[in-house]
Amino acid sequence: MKVSYHGHSVVMIETGKGKIIIDPFITGNDLCDLQADEVECDVILLTHGHNDHVGDTVELAKRNNALVVAPFELATFLGWKGCDVHPMHIGGAHKFDFGQVKLTQAFHGSSYTDEESQQIIYTGMPSGILLTAEGKTIYHAGDTALFSDMKLIGEQNELEIAFLPIGDNFTMGPEDAKTAAQWLKAKVVVPIHYNTFPVIEQNPEEFVSSLKGVEGKALKPGESMKL
């Protein structure tokens, strides 16, 4: 299994069953190394409906005939836009041919903003994602504050890698993410959701070096790890 980071919260997982991309905010993301019209994927996993996470989902899903897995209201919204969707909700798990997806809670918002009409469209509850494939479990926390049930996630799952937001302002900052890393007990912690906008500027290397008893790795956009 190969896992790569592509700026903001964009993560790609490549397994023997295909390519899975999480929160594909590519167009308009100056930190992303990808080009939306060149990305190949079989599955798109979404944590919530904010524009900087839904990103290029519709274009990618249609061009690749990719399945979109998302919280119920967001999946419904994207289904209306012509995507092939599988709706889920927090606490629920489902086994697909590429692996198992389980949604966790996340403390954040979830809505899609239509700038042209100045409308904010409700897209349900935000979530984190537990993806288990090829015997390994990956946790993508999505956008979230620190919450105590992260301890439970760490107790119930042997996490190979945890992707945690560190940007502050909209999500956990580095200090809370350090606590989350302790609770989750993942083998490796990778910071996400930082430096895309001035208000979430952080030093990922500093965050990683501050972790105690937990291995951290600050992946640059385009860098990957073998699990």
Where is 189: in which H helix or E strand? strand 188-192
Measured between alpha carbons, how far is 126 from 135 in angstroms, rounded to an integer?
26
State residue 13's pLDDT score. 98
State residue 15's pLDDT score. 97
Q: Quote the mean pLDDT of the chain.
A: 98
Measured between alpha carbons, how far is 105 from 193 in angstroms, rounded to an integer?
18
Amino acid at 70: A
Long-range contacts of 124-127 (CB under 8 A, 24+ apart): 124/48, 124/49, 124/71, 124/72, 124/73, 124/74, 124/89, 125/48, 125/71, 125/73, 125/89, 125/90, 126/47, 126/48, 126/49, 126/71, 127/47, 127/48, 127/71, 127/90, 127/103
Residue 59: both structure tokens together: 């274009």
Of the pLDDT bands very low, low, confident and very high (cuts 50, 70, 90), residue 223 is very high
State residue 170's pLDDT score. 98
112 touches 126 (CB < 8 A): no
Do the bridges between strand 99-105 and strand 93-96 make them parallel or antiparallel, or are there none, so unpaired? antiparallel
Least confident of 45-49, 113-117, 182-186, 204-208: 113-117
For the chain, which domains are there? Answer: 2-219 (3.60.15.10)
State residue 60's pLDDT score. 98
pTM more than 0.85: yes
Residue owning tokens 């430096």: 195
216 touches 189 (CB < 8 A): yes
Residue 174: both structure tokens together: 């580095």
Residue 54 burial by CB count (10 A; 0-12/13-18/19+): exposed, middle or buried?
buried
Mean pLDDT, residues 67-72 taken together: 98
Of the pLDDT bands very low, low, confident and very high (cuts 50, 70, 90), residue 221 is very high
How do residues 75-85 score in pLDDT, each as one tens digit? 999 999 999 99
Mean pLDDT, residues 186-195 taken together: 98
Measured between alpha carbons, how far is 29 from 39 in angstroms, rounded to an integer?
15
Of the pLDDT bands very low, low, confident and very high (cuts 50, 70, 90), residue 211 is very high
